[in-house]
Structure 1
Amino acid sequence: MHALVVVAHPDPNSLTHAVAARLAEGVSQARHSAEIADLMAEGFDPRFTATDHAVHLKQAASSADVVAEQARIDRADALVLVYPVYWWSMPGLLKGWIDRVFINGWAYDEIPGGKLEKKLGRLPVHLVALGGADQRTYERHGYSGAMKTQIDHGIFDYCGARVVTSELLLPSDTQDAGAQLDTAQAIGGRLFQAVERGEAADAA
């Protein structure tokens, strides 16, 4: 099976990139394949333009870069987003990727009469966010819950995609970067375990 790992960070030597690489390594060690989509290095344009708005209204065709990203997702058996927490959410680059790629008619369909067709029910999603604050800060201010509401539910549930993993990797006095990398590798290693168990049950 194949995982698309999308990473959004301007520094290729960042912990975020290292986490994405180790997660992909875990996928490979479990005898599956992984592609890392480095949005910054690839030069993806996150700006939602008048053309994108016309596409949303189904008055224009999607641009080539959006179609290419949708094709990468369509080829994947799982989508993994790895990103640093900026202002208690995801970076603008990643949010712009979602704004432009997860569009009306592809990720969901707004049907006349107010009905909504969720079109990504086949796609399992794994979220791996890296924060700079400690766990007490996230809990005290309700940031973790707010992030799950706006990202896990507000974006992916709206499209019908099931968020399987929603991991927040935080620094602590007892946890170094190595522990975060080990967690990322473990996530990659079990990415397709549920599917494999289902296939084994079917074979039996």
Structure 2
Amino acid sequence: MSTLIVVAHPDPTSLTHSVAERLVGALPSDQVELADLAAEGFDPRFTLADRHSFRVAGEYPDDVAGEIARVERADQLVLVFPVFWWSMPALLKGWIDRVFANGWAFGVGEGSGIRPGLGHLTAHLVLLAGSDAGLYDRRGYHVSVETQIGTGILDYCGIQRGLTEFLYDADAGASDADIDTVVERVAAAIRG
């Protein structure tokens, strides 16, 4: 098994990065890759080149082709990110917009509707939540995440759903025990 952990946070000293790094440390070093989108300078803007790729179902820009190759090396994908406005940061959303492209992550047109392309991949979500679980329950955040990300991205591309783990009260600083619990659950799911 090979795992790609994608982290989207501009501050390398953030709790988001700490959780991602701890997860990297919980997996065999030769079977895990960390993609730090901010540090790597990934451009999340969907351009005319991306629009062209969508229309022709291929001919991906070089940076997108490199990310596609990175995802293709993985069996497990872990997205680690803070919750912004009931979803993911723009950097991660832009990565998905550009990388999960027509002709590779899915196919459209010519007959039978949407054809998912990433059935070999299992995705796990680790969301750092600024509030407590009670607020997330009352406001329907869990349903929002399942709809926007689970149905709208993972299911659309045929990606198998792994764990969705929330690390609550992240703005106040999560405890080491809470971080360890989330990291171990995800690592155990990856190890099978």
Interval containing the TM-score (normalised by the shorter chain): over 0.9
Is contact 1:26–1:187 with CA below 8 Å preserved after alignment? no
Aligned match for 1:47, one of 23, 45, 48: 45
Q: Any residues of structure 2 matched to 1:21-40 within 5 Å, and which?
A: 21-28=21-28, 33-40=31-38
Is contact 2:124–2:186 with CA below 8 Å preserved after alignment? no
2: CA distance, partners of 1:74 / 1:177? 34
Higher RCO (CA 8 Å, separation ≥ 6 residues): 1
Partner of residue 164, structure 1? 162
2: CA distance, partners of 1:59 / 1:158? 16
Is contact 2:57–2:103 with CA below 8 Å preserved after alignment? no
Amino acid in the other structure paired with 1:179: A
CA shift, 1:60, in A, is 6.3
Is contact 2:58–2:102 with CA below 8 Å preserved after alignment? no
What is the RMSD of the two structures over their aligned residues, measured on CA atoms?
Answer: 1.8
Aligned match for 1:129, one of 107, 113, 127: 127
Is contact 2:44–2:93 with CA below 8 Å preserved after alignment? yes
Matched, 1:66 2:56: no
Matched, 1:15 2:18: no
| Paired-residue identity, % | 48
Equivalenced residue count is: 190
Partner of residue 200, structure 1? none
TM-score, scaled relative to structure 2: 0.93
Is contact 1:22–1:184 with CA below 8 Å preserved after alignment? no
Aligned match for 1:144, one of 128, 142, 146: 142
Q: Rg bigger for which structure?
A: 1
CA shift, 1:193, in A, is 3.3
Residue segments in structure 2 that go unaligned for 5+ positions in a row: none
Amino acid in the other structure paired with 2:75: D
CA shift, 1:147, in A, is 1.1
